[in-house]
Amino acid sequence: MTEEALPGGFVNVVVRVGATVRRTPSPNAEFAHRVLAHLERHGWPGAPRFLGTDDSGREILSYVDGHVAWQPHPHSTRSLVAVARLLRAFHDLTAGTELAGDREVVCHNDLSPKNTVYDSDLMPVAFIDWDLAAPGERVHDVAHVCWQYLALGPGVTDPAATGRDLRAIADAYGLSDLSALLDTVLWWQDRCWRGIEAEASAGVAHAVRLRALGVVREIQDQYRWTAGNRSLLEG
């Protein structure tokens, strides 16, 4: 069967082979596979299935048919609400399980349009790229969703409208503490640029590449923008 390279990944070389996807396993793969197996046992359709390991040591996942938004595109409120509901369903399936340990839930930790498969109406079907999944708090993933799907930063043209969408996400998820949510968006942005900076300084190839593309400065600008527009976003 032929291998077809899939666009959009930044860390991994990901190929499609028929109805499957092959990826180099991450150091966290064992945990991520347990999470995917747990979601499969519950019949949750919002993640690929883990199907095993191939002869080259790559993980085999089911290919989720649809469109991955690896280039930025605006989201309708309806699509954002659907992302929040999909996230809530996933979190609720992990709450109180051994996988969540002593934390509230299992977090995906990298939710973004690039890691979401959409249907032809641009409604979310599944989250992919579970490499960073780990026990965590609900607000962590909700804040990451707000940052990434709303593209919080200087590119936002109507902060009041974006604030309404942010509150629609929080409502659809069922999160009421908007102040904690904004604190956590800022925490992610801060931690993300510092992480890239530290890895780039240590010579990690993908971080060097990101820094050369101006991503560190871009995220610093997003942090400043979010801090400066906080009251409009909280409403």
Number of residues that bind Mg ion (CB under 5 A): 2
Yes or no: say if 153 and 222 are a contact pair by the CB < 8 Å rule: yes
**Any contact of residue 6 with ligand ADP (CB under 6 A)?**
yes
**Any contact of residue 115 with ligand ADP (CB under 6 A)?**
yes
Q: Please, which of residues 37-56 interact with ligand ADP by CB under 6 A?
A: 48
- Which of 71/157 has CB closer to ligand ADP? 71
**Any contact of residue 114 with ligand ADP (CB under 6 A)?**
yes
* Token pair recorded at residue 86: 């999909």
CB of 95 to Mg ion, least distance (A): 25
**Any contact of residue 226 with Mg ion (CB under 5 A)?**
no
Among 59, 90, 108, 129, binds Mg ion (CB under 5 A): 129
Distance CA 212, CA 203 (A): 12
Q: Tell me the one-letter amino acid at 148.
A: Q
Angle value at C-alpha 134, between 128 and 137, nearest 5 degrees: 105
CA distances from 2 to 14, 19, 48 (A): 13, 11, 20
Distance CA 225, CA 49 (A): 38
Residue 43 partner contact from Mg ion, ligand ADP, none using kind-dependent CB cut-offs of 5 to 8 Å: none
Yes or no: say if 189 and 226 are a contact pair by the CB < 8 Å rule: yes
Stretch that binds Mg ion, among 116-124, 128-136, 165-173, 177-185 (CB under 5 A): 128-136
* Beta bridge partners of residue 68, listed in sequence order: 117
- Which of 63/233 has CB closer to Mg ion? 63
**Any contact of residue 14 with ligand ADP (CB under 6 A)?**
yes
Distance CA 49, CA 61 (A): 5
Among 32, 35, 36, 68, binds ligand ADP (CB under 6 A): 68
Distance CA 23, CA 14 (A): 5
Half-sphere exposure of 20 (CA within 13 A, CB side): 16
Question: Which residue number is nearest to ligand ADP in terms of Cβ?
Answer: 9
**Any contact of residue 185 with ligand ADP (CB under 6 A)?**
no
Rule CB under 6 A: which residues touch ligand ADP?
6-12, 14, 21, 23, 48, 61, 63-64, 68, 70, 114-115, 117, 128-129, 131
Task: Catalog residues that contact Mg ion under the rule CB under 5 A.
Answer: 115, 129
